[in-house]
Chain A
Amino acid sequence: MDNEHLLTSPFAYLGRKVITLITEMGAMAIFFMKAFLMIFRSKQVPMIIQHIYYIGATSATIVMMVGLFTGMVLGLELFHTLLRFGSTGVLGSAISVALVRELGPVLTAIMITARAGSSMTAEIGVQRISEQIDALVTMRINPLRYIVSPRIAASIICFPILTTFFDLVGILGGYFTGCVLLGLNYGTYFSRVQQSLEMEDITCGFVKSLVFAVIVATVCCFQGFFTHMRRDSYGAKAVGLSTTSAVVMSCVLILVSDYVVSSLLI
């Protein structure tokens, strides 16, 4: 009997985990759909603008800084690698395609998760445990409309814009190391960028940034909104754990969905 239990228990554990994961994903999908539909209700615009400022404007500097150094590192590494094959002329193509299709959307999403996503979860989590969300319900204010929808709308607007900033600054960073520091001709660099970047690449980056926006905003808001349902902890500790879960889950889902979207659009 014990041996039998020993044999089946890993599968039972795995099964439970998978069921929990699927249930949670389903709940998140419903959560997103409900909140998304409420974006178009009245009185939402001022709140969306407020969140655009927080998610977008205040994150712009850090996103561009990361973009600049990513472009610079790419410029440095790729220049020396391409030098071995005598093809430094394609540096502009390599950097621009890598940034626009892949690194721009992914790194921007991860940076926003770390900066704005974590604070979304913590803020909503604190509102939940201090009964502020219950207070909204008693005032007949739908908390999904008031708290979640504006954040999702703001994320959908901000992610592509910030990704564009990241890409542009990254290309300039590549130019700085490749042309200014390492002596590559700047005309060659920019003509390669112009030649190799196609609309398809830009669309791919844009679609990815939209998908990541939905993932990050939904996961972070969901984790905060249901902080009180956690079984492993309560109160302030639950808010901390929810924030960690939100960041980890968002990062993992960004990379998983990146692969899925890439394989669909390639």
Chain B
Amino acid sequence: METPKVKIPLIEFQKLTKRFNGRAVLDQADLQIYEGEVTTIIGKSGTGKSVLLKHIIGLLAPDEGTILVRGQPLEKMSKRERYKYFRQISYMFQNNALFDSMTVFENIALPLRQTTRMSEETIERKVKARMEQTELTDATGKYPSELSGGMQKRVALSRALVTDPKIVLFDEPTTGQDVIRRNAILGMIAEYQRMFRFTAVLISHDIPDVFFISNRIIAIDEGRIIFQGTPEEFEKFEHPFVDEFVRSIEKLEEHLTGIQSKRQFKIRNQVGLSRKRPQESYVAALFTLDDFDRMCEVLGHTRGQEVLSALGTYINKHFGSVGGFSTRHSKNEFATLLPFSDPEEAGRILKDFAEDLQNEGLKSIQSEAHVQGETCFEFAILAGMAEGKAGDEEMDSILKEAHVRQREIARITCEKRR
């Protein structure tokens, strides 16, 4: 029998400890980061998340423990090997760390000018390509202080990506951004990660939004790694940390957006269904904003997120009036539960919703997201419903069934293209 191949982590911490003034900021930390994945580190402020990233890039050295790179201890590597490893990494600082006396172009070109032997023409071509990808073409000659917070983030992101790194570390890339821009930045990171196939390590407080783009979650509390696994596994993880930290953020999110977190959605679902008699039916609906990735490419990530947010609010408002509640299910999907409706009634509600959405809703979504006229982009909304029985199936399998039954219920067409 063939033994299954063990996946070797790209970076591994083994019993890593770091102390500052005698206080252990990282305490016997064991963690693995795998190649080509998006790994997100979550935890309260001051619990050692940035210290952890700074160990990966070599800004700090551990007091105890080992860092393995593809199974090889970092301290045993030759100077050349270590240089080669560190050259593959880019770091995006929390406060961007842009050079304020340089223009946007000079900031992005700096690593190429200083660390490569590329000709000025090649550098210019590469920098311009990155600037186009990050929607910075208008900001070429501007100084960082002349840009908005979101644009500064994009400059920092371009600078981090211009050297085509294999590993990119993001230290709280969305700090100080509103919900839309936060999601736009996360969307951008996910898109570039897919495009350039780098390994991304993020520190983020954007729960649950960051879960939609992450392959793995690492939770850190008081310098100790308390969880490592997939976002799905994290949702089932029971620990005082989850109550203290994650739920408080989720509550704030709900307050800001009106849409419930997945966890709250599940709890509310369980409470709602526990009041029903066994085998009494309820309905779950799944809505998808089709072609979302291309929409972000064409309209930009901020506009894309604005459309998504407006759609979420519209769904929540419509179904909230008939006792339903909604959550963002994935990057471009919303799940709605109708606990008090049978399939027939839910079908009528969905039909009304589809008509409203086609006649009025999409127009208001477009105007809220400022995607009319020249920037118009054709897109469709898909919806599917599935029936569940109280006390029976898991919500995930019902939503999977709803996904299979999805069909187009509304579409935006751009007049000038007709």
Co-assembled chains A and B: yes
Q: Give the distance to chain A from B95, nearest Cβ to Cβ, in Å.
A: 6
Give complex CA distance A135, B95 in Å.
Answer: 11
In the complex, are the beta carbons of B91 and A138 less than 8 A apart? yes
| Interchain CB contact (< 8 A) of B83 among A43, A127, A140 | A140
- Known contacts: A132-B97, A134-B59, A134-B97. The answer to whether A140 contacts B87 by CB under 8 A is yes
In chain B, residues 54-85, which have Cβ atoms closer than 8 Å to a Cβ of chain A? Answer: 57, 59, 83
Partner of A140, one of B93, B95, B115: B115
Contact A130 B83, beta carbon cutoff 8 Å: no
User: B115 contacts A139, CB within 8 Å?
Assistant: yes
User: What is the total number of residues of chain A having a CB less than 8 Å from a CB of chain B?
Assistant: 14
**B interface residue numbers (CB < 8 A to A):** 57, 59, 83, 86-87, 89-91, 93, 95, 97-101, 110-111, 113-115, 163
**Cα separation A3 to B256 with both chains bound (whole Å):** 66
CB pair A131 B114 closer than 8 Å:
no
B114 touches A146 (CB 8 A): yes
Contact A141 B91 (CB under 8 A): no
Across the A-B interface, the 8 shortest Cβ-Cβ residue pairs: A135-B97, A138-B91, A131-B97, A139-B111, A141-B114, A131-B93, A132-B97, A138-B57
Say yes or no: A135 contacts B91, CB within 8 Å. Answer: yes
- Chain B residues near A132 (CB-CB < 8 A): 97-100
The 0/1 profile, CB within 8 Å of B marked 1, for residues 128-149 of chain A is 0011101101111100001000
A138-B89 in contact (CB<8A): yes
Q: Chain B residues near A127: list those with CB within 8 A.
A: 99
Interface string of A104-147 (1 = CB under 8 A from B): 00000000000000000001000100111011011111000010
Complex contacts, A134 vs chain B, CB 8 Å: 59, 93, 97
Would A139 and B114 be within 8 Å (CB), given that A132-B99, A134-B59 are in contact?
yes
Chain A residues within an 8 Å CB radius of B91: 135, 138
Taking a contact as CB atoms under 8 Å apart, the answer to whether B115 and A141 are in contact is yes
Kindly list chain B residues whose C-beta atoms are within 8 Å of the C-beta of A131.
Answer: 93, 95, 97
Q: Point out which of A127, A130, A135 has the most chain B C-beta atoms below 10 A from its C-beta.
A: A135
In the assembled complex, the CB of B168 is this many whole angstroms from the nearest CB of chain A, namely: 11
Give the residue among B87, B97, B99, B101 with the most A Cβ atoms within 10 A: B97
Q: Give CA–CA (A130, B89) in the complex, Å.
A: 20
Structural contact, B59 and A137, CB atoms closer than 8 A: yes
